[in-house]
Structure 1
């Protein structure tokens, strides 16, 4: 069962990316290093509700 999630920048809270994840194998919140257009650098992006 996969679920659509939104990733937000940890510095500026801009919601930049959407992705899907398998809820049964990945129960914790997703954290990925991604490029933020607003900050202009790679930052940690976390899953939001």
Structure 2
């Protein structure tokens, strides 16, 4: 019914350094986090510093499309 007008939406954050390197022997995958954001307060793409378990350090994780 009101599915398209929800204020809080679920977003996926993906490690930007793992995506740039691609998947190789050093990096076994791509780190992803699921979080929520307020559509009205944050209309731009979200970027947060989170821990990447494949890079073994804190990196910038950016919002991706589903």
Give the TM bin, normalised by the shorter chain.
Answer: over 0.9
Deviation, structure 1 residue 44: 0.4
SS in 2 for 1:12: helix
Give ranges in structure 2 of 5+ residues lacking alignment.
1-6, 20-29
Instruction: Please provide the CA RMSD for this pair.
Output: 0.9
Output the CA distance in 1 between the equivalents of 2:31 and 2:62: 9
Is 2:13 aligned against 1:7? yes
Length-normalised TM-score, structure 2 = 0.70
Give the count of matched residue pairs: 49
Give the structure with higher Rg (CA).
2
Length-normalised TM-score, structure 1 = 0.92
Higher strand share: 1
Pairwise mapping of residues 1-49 of structure 1 onto structure 2 (< 5 A)? 1-13=7-19, 14-49=30-65
